[in-house]
Structure 1
Amino acid sequence: MRDFRSAPISDADKAMLAYAEKLTLAPSEMREEDVQVLRAHGFSDRAILDMNLVAGIYNVLDRLVDGLGGELHEWMHSEAERLGIAGWKPGSPAG
């Protein structure tokens, strides 16, 4: 998905992806208002916790692999090319 903001997905999904994007790219800027937006879209505190856990785990793993000079396995290159059609590049944050 190149741009989730204009994608044909629900407003709740857009809010979730915006939250994950901000958590990934600007974690020090997270505020209570970000959580309130999710609650307004019907997400429970458990669902919000799960969002944080999933985003956090992927962010930590991405940084560990990048920091250790990790390389994609051969089979991952074709998947990376497929995802590249959607705007993703190897080494860039998910989202």
Structure 2
Amino acid sequence: MQAHAHDLREEVEDEELVDHIRNDYRQAKLDPATRAMLDYCVKLTTRPWEMREDDVETLRAHGLSDADILDIVQVASFFNYINRVADALGVDPEPFMEPWPWQERALPSLS
């Protein structure tokens, strides 16, 4: 999240918004469609086995097209994948990022 917060900070220049999104997006002043998209991504990330057609219908009701929904699923899924790969292989974070607590333990190195 730190890397993405860093990028968002450069885009929006709104420290309060960045902090809310980084810590709890539900506290941020977001439009309903963006909030619905983030709710969908959280569910997809944390409980993918619970995804239902109703979840897609909620996004459509907020004005998102099927192409938008496909993009959302692909981007969220890619980041879930690549973060798991990085965590599993002990990839070092960017220099400006603080390590996560679990990264202090010895991780396997494939180099």
Shorter-chain TM range is 0.7 to 0.9
Residues 52 and 67 of structure 1: is their aligned pair in 2 closer, same or farther, counting only changes over 3 Å? Answer: same
Rg comparison, structure with higher value: 2
- Aligned runs of 1:53-68 on 2, under 5 Å? 53-68=74-89
The offset of 1:22, in angstroms, is 0.6
Out of 51-60 and 3-12, give the one that drifted further. Answer: 3-12
CA RMSD of aligned residues (A): 1.9
Taking the aligned partners of 1:50 and 1:16, their CA distance within structure 2 comes to 11
Using structure 1 for the length normalisation, give the TM-score. 0.76
Which of the numbers 30, 52, 72 marks the counterpart of 1:51?
A: 72
Using structure 2 for the length normalisation, give the TM-score. 0.66
Listed one character per residue, the Cα deviations across residues 4-57 of structure 1 (whole Å, up to 9, x for unaligned) are 223211111100000011111111111100000000000000000000000011
1:86 corresponds to = none
Taking the aligned partners of 1:46 and 1:55, their CA distance within structure 2 comes to 14
Runs of 4+ in 1 over 4 A off after TM superposition: none
Which of the numbers 36, 43, 52 marks the counterpart of 1:22?
A: 43
Which of the numbers 33, 45, 49 marks the counterpart of 1:12?
A: 33
Which segments of 5 or more consecutive residues in structure 2 lack a partner in the other structure? 1-20, 103-111
Taking the aligned partners of 1:14 and 1:6, their CA distance within structure 2 comes to 10
User: Structure 1 vs Structure 2: percent identity of aligned residues?
Assistant: 44
